[in-house]
Amino acid sequence: MSDYTIKRLDEVPDVLGDYPGEMRMMTSDLEAEQVAFTYRRMPQHTGGKGSYGHRHKEQEEIYFVASGKLQFKLGDDMLDLEAGTTVRVAPETWRSVWNDEPQDAVLIIVSKTVPGGSSDDAEYLENFWPE
């Protein structure tokens, strides 16, 4: 048995289905026990604008804008973050991300793993970021 796991993006399922872009939750496929790692490619006009926001009971998240430029709504604050920028979001902070730029953006999301999965720790708010 090895003490490491290697996965390529194309080996991990895209959980977005018909929604444009990609969201690959790498954690399970990597057999990670402590760190949750998600890759998200966001084409123009994708994300949570006009939709819901979410927050967590216990799970803080770190968002790294790997490429492009993204709009973040964190609580009542609106932020434009460019490639190379990292933001830590406390569990109780309502959040949503949107790509308003013509080029794709890549977002890396890192957090701790949560027993039962992230959805058990999440709460959703409809119309958090109205259009």
pLDDT at 128: 93
pLDDT at 54: 94
Residue-wise pLDDT tens digits, 87-121: 999 999 999 999 999 999 999 999 998 766 666 78
For 40-125, CATH gives 2.60.120.10
pLDDT at 119: 64
Instruction: Please return the burial class of 34, using the count of CB atoms within 10 Å of its CB with bins 0-12, 13-18 and 19+.
Output: exposed
Contact 30, 37 (CB under 8 A): yes
Q: Whole-model pTM?
A: 0.92
Domain borders along the chain are 40-125
pLDDT at 87: 98
pLDDT at 121: 82
Residue-wise pLDDT tens digits, 28-54: 999 999 999 999 999 999 999 988 899
pLDDT at 113: 86
Average pLDDT for the chain: 92
